[in-house]
Structures are given as structure tokens and as C-alpha cells.
Amino acid sequence: MLIPNNLKYSKEHEWVRVEGNNAVVGISDYAQSQLGDIVFVELPELGATVTAGKRFSVVESVKAVSDIFSPVSGKIVAVNDGLNDAPEKINQAPYGEGWIAVIEMSDSSQLAELMDDTAYADQVAKGGH
Amino acid sequence: MRSSAALIFELSRPGRLALDLPQPDVPEQQLEDLIPAAYLRSEPAALPEVSQLDLVRHFTELSQRTFGVDSGFYPLGSCTMKYNPKVNEDVAALPGWTGLHPLEGFRDTQGALQLMYELQQMLAEISGMDAVTLQPVAGAHGELTGLKLIRAYHRSRGEEHRIRVIVPDSAHGTNPATVSVCGMETVEIKSHPDGAIDLDALRAAVNSDTAALMLTNPSTLGLFEKNICAVTEIVHAAGGLVYYDGANANAIMGLTRPGDMGFDVIHFNLHKTFSTPHGGGGPGAGPVGVKKILEPFLPIPVVTQTADGSYCFAEDRPLSIGRMHSFYGNFGILVRAYAYILTMGADGLRQVSEDAVLNANYCLARLRDVYHAPFVRHCMHECVLTSQKQNAKGIRTLDIAKRLLDYGVHPPTIYFPLIVAEALMIEPTETESKENLDAFVEIMRQIAREAEENPALIIQAPTTTVVGRLDEAAAARKPNLRWKPAG
């Protein structure tokens, strides 16, 4: 189970990579392994306003349809269109080509609410949900 | 002799016919003279051309590939795939029913109206509700009807803003889907680690926008909600109503009633609890029962009894949400449920639920040493196990389900409820004998042994079926929905 130490994590298994005032967001390796083969991603709209803790994307796997929650509030400034044709990228490279969107943060202090790799690894070890 | 995988199109040979039609005895007319050219095909439709015998063999073979409760054990959790007594089919096929026209007048349809009226009363009695509509034709259709009733109720009280519906994270997926279709908003609450509703989370979730709580009891984990009266009180105190998803009602008939627990609305799945045919897309029936406060909003027409004892449809309900279906629902299904309830009687229905609960607990007790059981309590009519013990060997729940196919068993529900990782939900129903349950348990124990000794057997399964393991991800990512001729 890959949990890179340069990322922050939400309780709902999203990861965040901070780039200046932008947050690159995806789902963790643990999340993709639990979901199984991902077959469809509903991407957020470019320019949409998102709120921390609210749904901003939907991922469908062979097992279930799952809401993806925005780890921070802000505006969507980029989405990973490549997932439309190749949703399996989330399975293959959850922290790389499987990124979902970039959020321009409206309140970067929300990052403090997220977990570091050690705390997240702890949550996963305890059973995840 | 012939390839069993051949499609009817591949069996086609130009000019071959299933029957010869005689020459018409009226003057033949040209198609072009009858239909404007713009609407005519430019090339003939690629319809299969086969002999009658090939046609019969093809579809007979397909019919033999299907699997139903009449062919084997079918413990599909949350679906109540019980055996449907054949007498119900005989009763529903009586010419007095099948010859009825839905627009026939009351005078000629008293028997049908009486059946509907009495079925409404029976369902009200079983569920502890005051009134029932038989119109909805599926469980989710019943949910939609129920939420529309709740919305109409709030609206009539000047509380249009109550649009938030609380749904536990263990709920059937139809619950939040219905909320969306109804134009309302879902508020999800997390379950307590013991599987029950978290009362604190519920208290925190209710407010002046709360329209309703949707709940299944027993829950999708197969557990009875012990705090149910506290749950309904919390929602009522906030001004909301409580909806009972009747999908799991096979566990409670004659033992307890949603109306007595404080529920305001319930839908029944006649095709689950009341033994009408199930699967293959229906037809189903999802009648809805309500407490008095919601009765004025029920869909029209309402089956009622007049002062002289005859039956009719009442349309004069100014607060009604309107029609939820053409005519009066799936009448043939109502006949089957009526026959079932009369055949079983009150004692029989109670025994149905007692045996359904006993059978599920028997399976749980005989399997929990080899499969992980996430909850220590007794279950109701279904039990949840997981493949946690088998995960170390690289075996997941999907693999176990596929291996069951090799043993001629329909797999249980898998990966649901969502809050249990690698869930396997078994609902044996009351109609299986102890011998059948023992045979299933032995197969499950055999698979657990295979997981230890020869995991490859399970990972490669199924190997005895017409087709092997399907690539479900590829099928969903790149769906190939239409046959095209080669080349």
C-alpha cells in the first residue's frame, strides 16, 4: 500500500498535493484498491466552486459508485480529462496520472485539517472506513 | 453438434424460413404505395433467417442456461429470493382476472376491486399502518411515492423548505437515488461501529430542514435496530417523518410492525416478502402504507368501499399527489400476493419470518469459524460475512462468489452493504430445508478449504459454466452492446 510522505490525506481517502496556492487532488492507493477496477469518473466542472467536505466528483467501479469529497474549498482550475477515456489510470497510478482535479484554494488553513502520511497509514491500518 | 455460443444471427442462412405463409387472398399492394419513401428502409433489416427447429432449439438452450429459484439455491441478500408457490400462478391465471379490461365499469369488476380493497387492509394490518395504495410497481417506485407523500405533507403545512432526507450509510442505494429523483437532498449519517444507527449522529443531523429519515429495519447488515423507538422519536421531535424501506420485511411479519415502531410510511416489496415472481425485470409491486396524516395525499384512484358494501374508485382527493402509474398498478401481481397471504394466514406469516431468521442464523453459526463475521450479534433474515480470512491467500469476495457458480449455487449479494469491506450477504429465506442449508454450508466450507490448499482453483473460477471469468472492467469501460456481422 503506497502512502507517499509528500502528500496530505483526508478521512475519506482523498490525497492533496500542495503547489503554491493550488491543491492537486486524487484518491489514495488504498481507496482505489478497495474500489476495484474503476470504470467511470464524473469530473467536476472547470471553474466550479467546491466546498471542503462536499462531493465534487463521482467514481464508479465494478463494485460500487462512490462520492469523492473535496478536501479543501476553492475553485476548480484544472480537471484530468484523460480519465474520461482511461479511468483505469486511477488504479494504475493513483498519485500520478490518476489525479482528478486541481483546486485553487480559497482558504489554505483548511490544509491543517488533513492528515500526514503517518496518521493516514494509521487510519488505513485500523480498517479504513 | 452446433456451437452453443452461436447467436441467432449467426445461425441465419439466406432464404431459410420458420414457416411458409400462403399466398394472400387479397390484392397485394406495394409498400411504396402505402408508406412515404422517407420512412422506408433503404436496405432490408438484417433479421435472422432460420428454420423452426433451429429457432426452438436455440431458445430452449438459452432458457436452460438461466438460473432461478426453481433451479437451485439462491441466497441473494436483501432480495428475498424465496420459492413462489405455483398455486399463486394458477389463481392469477383465472379467466375472471385475465379477461378483465382496466376501463371496465365498477359494476362488472366488483371481485377485482374487493381483492384490491382486502389486500390493502391486509397489508395495513401486517405493517401497522392506516391506509395503503397498491399503485407503485416496484420497490423504488414505492420509495418515490412515499417521498412524494412526505413532500406533499410538509407543503400542506407551509413547510416547503423541508427537503433534506437523512439516510444511513448502510442504506440500499435506491434510498439516496429516490431522494435525488424527488428533487430533495440526501444527508448521509455514519453507522455506529456495532452496525446500529448512531443516535448522536442522528441528533446532530436533524433540523428544521429535515423532511424525513429513510430506514430499513432490520438494517442492510441483517441486524434489528434496537433503538428504533428512540430513532423515530428524534426525527418526529424535529418535525420530520420516518420512512420504512420494506425490502427486509421478510424478517418481521407477525413479530413486530413498522407502524408500532413509529414509522409514518412504508413500502412493501410484494415480489420479495409476499412471494410474487422476482427478477428478470419484474413485473413487481411496491404498495405503500401510510399513517392517517398522509392518507389525504395518496395517489388516485383510491379503492374504497361505499355505504352499501360495494367497491369503487374514488378520484375526489384534492390533496392527492396524483397518479403514480397507468391504471392501478400490476394487478396480476396483487392477485398472487393476496393468494399467498390467505394461504399462509396470520400464523403462517409469523412462521415465515421466524424460519427466515432461524435459517440465516443457522448459516451464520455454521460458517463464522471459517469466514469472518463482522458483527457478534444474532442476525435477522440475512447474515453478513466477509472474505477477510481468505484475503491473505489473494482471494477476494468476488472470487468466492465465482467459485460458488461451479457448485451450482447462485452467489449471495457481494460488496454490499458498502460499509463492510469485502462483504458477502447471505439470505437463505424460509423456504429452504435444513438439508439444503447444510449442502450450501458444506460448499462454503469446501471453498474455505480450497482457499487454504489450492487458491488457484478459486481465482480461476468459474470453470464449469458456459463462459468463464468475465472481464467486468473491460465490459464497463468499453461496452460492446451490439452484434455486428463478421467482416
pLDDT digits (tens, 9 = 90+) for B189-243: 999 988 899 999 999 999 999 999 999 999 999 999 999 999 999 999 999 999 9
Indicate the residue of B398, B416, B476 with minimum beta-carbon distance to A39: B476
Q: Are residues B145 and B267 in contact, defined by beta-carbon separation less than 8 angstroms?
A: yes
* Cβ-based neighbour number of residue B136 at 10 Å: 26
How many angstroms from the chain centroid is the CA of residue A105? 15
For the CA atoms of chain B, what is the radius of gyration?
A: 26
Indicate the residue of A39, A65, A127 with minimum beta-carbon distance to B477: A39
| CA pair distance B360, B367, nearest whole angstrom | 11
Distance of residue B101 Cα from the nearest chain A Cα, in angstroms: 43
Which of B174, B415, B416, B420 to substitute to test the interface with A, most A CBs within 10 Å?
A: B415
Q: Is A82 on the interface with B (CB under 8 A)?
A: no
Question: What are residue B267's DSSP bridge partners?
Answer: B245, B288
Spans of all domains in chain A: 8-108
Q: Could you say which DSSP state residue A30 is in?
A: H
* Residue range(s) in chain B whose domain bears CATH number 3.40.640.10: 86-343
Which of B391, B472, B478, B480 to substitute to test the interface with A, most A CBs within 10 Å?
A: B472
Tell me the pTM: 0.89
* Residue B175 pLDDT: 95
* Residue B3 pLDDT: 52
Helix (H), strand (E) at residue B203:
helix B199-205
Of B19-23, B300-304, B433-437, the one with minimum mean pLDDT is: B19-23
Question: Which residues of chain B are within 8 Å of residue A62 when distances are taken between CB atoms?
Answer: 472-473, 476
B1 pLDDT band, cuts 50/70/90, is very low
Q: Which residue of A has its CA nearest to B414?
A: A63
- At the top level of CATH, the class of B86-343 is alpha beta
SS3 content of chain A, % helix, strand, coil (to 5): 25, 35, 40
* Residue B45 pLDDT: 87
| CA pair distance B195, B420, nearest whole angstrom | 10
Which of A13, A38, A39 to substitute to test the interface with B, most B CBs within 10 Å?
A: A39
Q: Is B361 helix (H, G, I), strand (E, B) or coil?
A: helix
Q: What is the mean pLDDT of residues B356-365?
A: 98
Instruction: Provide the grid cell at B283.
Output: 413485473
A128 pLDDT band, cuts 50/70/90, is low
pLDDT tens digit sequence for B394-451: 999 999 999 999 999 999 999 999 889 899 999 999 999 999 999 999 999 999 999 9
Q: Is A116 on the interface with B (CB under 8 A)?
A: no
Q: Quick one: CA dihedral A83, A88, A90, A96, positive or negative? A: negative
How many angstroms from the chain centroid is the CA of residue A71? 8
Q: Is A65 on the interface with B (CB under 8 A)?
A: yes
Question: Which residues of chain A are within 8 Å of residue B472 when distances are taken between CB atoms?
Answer: 37, 62
Pairing of strands B164-168, B210-215: parallel
Task: Please list, in sequence order, all residues whose beta carbon lies within 8 angstroms of the beta carbon of residue B202, skipping any fewer than 6 positions away.
Answer: B166, B189, B213, B231, B234, B235
Distance of residue B472 Cα from the nearest chain A Cα, in angstroms: 7
**With pLDDT > 70 as the criterion, what percentage of chain B qualifies?**
98
Indicate yes or no: CB of A64 within 8 angstroms of CB of B421. no
CATH number corresponding to A8-108: 2.40.50.100
CATH topology of domain B347-475: Aspartate Aminotransferase, domain 1 (3.90.1150)
